[in-house]
């Protein structure tokens, strides 16, 4: 993923795309900070799973900012954060959404033998084991709660 971000950053700089350049620089910085935190040094390469986690954190941060800006009435800032999310999403693996997510949750409920909301932890563990990081935890959690009594 590091090579891809660096190549895309170079292309955006050559194209003079300021927003894309700024967003990719921030992503590259977060990537390098994570590499340093893991003891790999600033030029170290993270595993694909760790790199995806870095990008997910960046997207989550922007989603939280959008919520705050919207509540405060700063729709222009919320729109800027949304544009950054759109630039970061291509670096994430395909996410389960809609019917696919519901089917995955139903499979996890069946696999874990869950019947009540107290078993939600078991369902989420089964879902994580089957699908790794390819789903939104909030959406999955809401589905599990709606499907369990």
| Domain containing residue 117: CATH number | 1.10.10
Q: Are residues 71 and 110 in the same domain?
A: no
Instruction: List the pLDDT tens digit at each of the 149 positions of the chain.
Output: 888 999 999 999 999 999 999 999 999 999 999 999 988 887 888 888 888 889 989 999 999 999 999 999 999 999 999 999 999 989 887 777 788 888 888 888 888 887 788 888 888 888 888 877 777 777 888 888 888 76
Number of structural domains the chain divides into: 2
Q: Are residues 69 and 125 in the same domain?
A: no
Q: Are residues 74 and 108 in the same domain?
A: no
Q: Are residues 36 and 107 in the same domain?
A: no
Partnered with residue 135 across adjacent β-strands are 96
Q: Are residues 9 and 66 in the same domain?
A: yes
Contact 127, 119 (CB under 8 A): no
Q: Are residues 85 and 37 in the same domain?
A: yes
Whole-model pTM?
0.70
CA-CA-CA-CA torsion sign (80, 83, 89, 95):
positive
**CATH code for the domain of 49:** 1.10.1510.10
144: closest CA among 44, 116, 130? 116
Q: How far apart are CA 19 and CA 12, in angstroms?
A: 9
**Which structural domain, as residue segments, surrounds residue 143?**
98-147
Q: Can you say whether residue 47 is alpha, beta or left, with left for phi > 0 and alpha for psi between -120 and 50 degrees?
A: beta
Q: Which residue has the tokens 């670096």?
A: 91
Q: Are residues 34 and 80 in the same domain?
A: yes
Q: Which residue has the tokens 């620089």?
A: 25
């Amino acid at each position: 993923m590091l090579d891809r971000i660096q190549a895309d950053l170079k292309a955006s700089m050559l194209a003079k795309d300021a927003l894309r350049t700024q967003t990719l620089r921030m992503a590259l910085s977060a990537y390098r900070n994570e590499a340093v935190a893991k003891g790999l040094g600033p030029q170290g390469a993270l595993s694909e799973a760790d790199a995806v986690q870095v990008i997910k954190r960046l997207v989550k941060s922007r989603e939280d900012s959008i919520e705050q800006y919207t509540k405060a009435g700063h729709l222009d800032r919320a729109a800027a954060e949304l544009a950054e999310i759109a630039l970061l999403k291509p670096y994430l693996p395909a996410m389960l959404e809609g019917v696919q997510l519901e089917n995955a949750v139903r499979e996890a409920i069946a696999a874990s033998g869950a019947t009540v909301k107290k078993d939600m932890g078991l369902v989420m563990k089964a879902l994580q084991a089957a699908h790794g990081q390819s789903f939104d935890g909030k959406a999955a959690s809401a589905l599990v709660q709606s499907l369990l009594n």
